[in-house]
Amino acid sequence: MRPLDAAEIQQDLLMRNTILLLDTTNVALRFVIQLVLADKFPVLLPTELWLDIIEQYHKASAPKYEAVRPTSIAASPTGQILHCRMVKLNLGVFESEHAVLAAEQFLDCSHAYDRISTNRCAAEDTDTVYAIEYPRNATTTGVSSTSTALRVPACLFIDTTVPDVIARLDDGRCWVCEGERDICPGCTRGVANEFDAFMGCGVDLACPLCMGLDFMQEDKAFLQKYYRDGPPAKEEEARKAQISARLAELGYDQQRASDDDSDGGLE
């Protein structure tokens, strides 16, 4: 997933009924920063102090995500406002690669959702509505302590995938790997076949469901290439770095790469 850009707030977004993820911990912070940038906040503080306050806020506040769908766009004096309604997602059981692709098609364009599997995806409206303002000249990237100016933090995200849903909405619960983030692709009693993840035993392959199908395929190609003799140390370290980066991207606690050179997996 990635932050929703202001240029993407158009009628097409509403017509597609795209499911977005909303970081609710950033909604209030975003409002305060917008007031500060507009010189409307009642307390005047140096930018450096604001940056420190924001940094401490992020350290103390774990992100909390909700699924929302955009419902309307309104003009504001400083930009535009996107109204979003919180929804309860039901993406069915991710029993196969086809089910994952169907769910991701629904997330991208639920209006034209084509049921290509036994899944029956749905998004039930709730009574909770958010109004997210996008100022004309604000940068919707994360706040960094090294920034020379305040930035409006991103809180709406698009291009949501099934791994994003598992990590951010389902507390990381994954039925394929049971939270390990990797599998032995030859010991799953047929489960690996459903995700085109089957190969020999004795290796730890990135989980196709919670780590992502594309990421798993790249990891599978690497493990197959060095299946008999093992990879060179430099390439194995690069693989561990890629796995750590993927875990961080999905918001998981960093897992220590295994020192066992026989499988090069995680422990």
Q: How many CA atoms within 13 Å lie on the side-chain side of 8? A: 14
pLDDT higher than threshold 60 for residue 142: no
Is residue 145 a contact partner of residue 51, using CB atoms and an 8 Å limit? yes
189-226 residue pLDDT tens? 999 999 999 999 999 999 999 999 999 999 999 999 99
pLDDT at 85: 97
- Show the beta-strand stretches assigned E in 163-267: 182-183, 205-206
Residue 90: how many other CB atoms lie within 10 Å: 13
Instruction: Compute the chain's Rg from CA coordinates.
Output: 21
pLDDT category of residue 42 using cuts at 50, 70 and 90: low
Q: Distance between CA 157 and CA 84 in Å, rounded?
A: 12
In this predicted model, which residue has the larger pLDDT, 51 or 224? 224
How far apart are the C-alpha atoms of 57 and 51, rounded to whole Å?
A: 10
Side-chain half-sphere exposure of 221, counting CA atoms within 13 A? 5
More confident residue, 3 or 57: 3
